[in-house]
Amino acid sequence: MTSTLRPEGPETPTPAGGRTRRWQICANGRQVGALRTTAVPHGSQLFGEIAELEISEGRGRGRGTFGALAAEEVLRGWGCSRVDVNVPETAQVARSLALALGYTERMRNLAKQLTAPPELPVGVTTRPIGAEEFPAWLARAAEDYVRSLRESGLTEEQSRAKSGVDHQRLLPQGAASPGVALRRLYGEGDDAGTEPLGSLWVDLHQRDLPDGRPLAWVMVVEVSPVHRGRGHGRTLMLVAERECLAAGVRTLGLNVFTVNEVAIGLYASLGYQVTNRLYGKQL
């Protein structure tokens, strides 16, 4: 039996300057599945994505494996240096396929439905990150992001390219960027020059859910090294939930790198549930 990958339609550009195309997976000329390949620019790098992979006929015959490997060849031909697949938590078969093909879990997406604003612990207060503080805060946040990306499997060059693009896209006007909450956590009574306990960045209108409801996203939760282990990460997450509800958004999501077991435990204790897992590998 001959398996082929056939274009379902024309290649189209993406808003970010990349390219995407949907393909049919065929057996002896008959369609038995489909998938989509996308190349996403990150600085001078191109990252590949495989999405919408579905086998409609003859499951268990290796057609998913063929489709994924053929998609990797397409992405190599497009100049992609790595490939990622985002797999729903409920798709156990797809998760097993990704692992069998040499993909490594890099990250998890989590989400929580919010109801009432949580109470904050006594003795803490929050303040916005101002324009004067922003450059130093961003430089530190960017370095932390680069380090996490490297630990998740990206190269140094890939990590820095992705960090630069992501921060420029999400914070185009610095501390004054619309639709974001940038906060620092302090102990009550501390003056403005005192070292903060930690910081928080929430994108309040990052995207919409499939049913049209808004979804906010926690981008950064950072506790100052000298103040770690005292529950301030939990407090910052409670601040994020309050900011989210104040903006009229009732679904809050976040990414957590798989290697960060402490953060995974924190989010689970706060009621966040895994929705997707991101797997990747170098091409």
Count of structural domains within the chain: 2
- 160 and 273 in a single domain? The answer is yes
Nearest to 111 by CA among 232, 268, 278: 268
Structure tokens at 20: 């995407």
pLDDT digits (tens, 9 = 90+) for 157-169: 888 988 888 888 8
Mean pLDDT value across residues 20-40? 95
Domain of 59 in residue numbering reads as 3-80
Give yes or no for residue 100 having a pLDDT over 70. yes
For residues 72 and 121, state if they share a domain.
no
Q: Would you tell me how many other CB atoms lie within 10 Å of the CB of residue 186?
A: 19
**pLDDT at residue number 189:** 64
pLDDT in tens, 191-246: 545 789 999 999 997 666 667 778 899 999 999 888 888 999 999 999 999 999 99
In-domain check, residue 123: yes
Q: Do 126 and 73 belong together in one domain?
A: no
Same domain, 69 and 23: yes
Residues 11 and 134 in one domain: no
> Which pLDDT band holds residue 273 (cuts at 50, 70, 90)?
very high
Per-residue pLDDT band for 253 (boundaries 50, 70, 90) equals: very high
In a domain, 106, yes or no: no
CA distances for 67 relative to 37, 50, 51, 63, 193, angstroms: 11, 10, 11, 6, 57
Give the integer Cα–Cα distance in Å for 111 and 217.
9
Where does a domain end: 58, 80, 102?
Answer: 80
